[in-house]
Amino acid sequence: MSRFAGLESAAIVAFHDAHVGDRAWRASAPRHADGAWAAIEANHRCNLLLWDAEDQARRTDVPDAAIAALKRAIDRHNQARNDAVESIDEALLARLADVRPHRDAWQHSETAGAMIDRLSILSLKVHHMGLAASRAGVPAEERAQRRAKVATLAAQRGDLARCYDALLARATAGEAFWRIYRQYKMYNDPALNPYLSRGVNGRVAPSNGDSPAATADG
């Protein structure tokens, strides 16, 4: 039996598609307690919530305070999404703990968890572009263009799904490997984001001698 039985791309894509339009599922309790599927479920839920929040954050008919609240929600969902990707990789790599990669094994720069995250996002794009293509009142030419985009997105997802399955197969055979790449989102950590660490009189405390105005990739 495969080390990744039940975690093939077909099962993951089917799971994504089953829940992408289910708003009740987004607010429901997790169905998986632990392991790879718990993290896959958490990641997909975060992507659905992110999609909705990003759409709403573009509104111009609500107060600025509502947009600020949405931006904070986006930050929380995105942090949880990245945490889930790392948890997916941890669970998948645990199944390869006794596999020693060959000396000439290919190091894959993208992790399997990141690929599953992309499959989740593509399910959202396929779903919403499909809705846009079937919307009433859309001119025939525009409808055709949107349907073409659905086909392109579906093809891209198919390519990614095959690459994911190939990575797992090659990793099982010791022919490829990947590492967990920790995100270490500094902007969410009060100890690392100088704008969250307030000094005397509420002034921003510079970090490591840097000016508060300095920018860096968080």
Read off the pLDDT of residues 164-187 as tens digits, 9 standing for 90 and up: 999 999 999 999 999 998 888 888
d(CA 185, CA 84) in angstroms, rounded, equals 14
Counting DSSP H helices and E strands in the chain, the numbers are 6, 2
Tell me the whole-structure pTM to 2 decimals: 0.87
The separation between CA 185 and the C-alpha centre of its own chain, rounded to angstroms, equals: 14
Q: Cα angle vertex 190, ends 110, 187, to 5°?
A: 35
Tokens coding 84: 């889930």
Please give the DSSP secondary-structure letter assigned to residue 30.
P
Q: 166 — phi, psi (to 5°)?
A: -65, -40
Q: What is the mean pLDDT of the chain?
A: 90
- Supply the DSSP string of 9-65, one letter for each residue: HHHHHHHHHHHTT-HHHHTSPPS--SHHHHHHHHHHHHHHHHHHHHHHTT-SSS-HH
Q: For 86-134, how does the pLDDT look when each residue is reduced to its tens digit (9 = 90+)?
A: 999 999 999 999 999 999 999 999 999 999 999 999 999 999 999 999 9
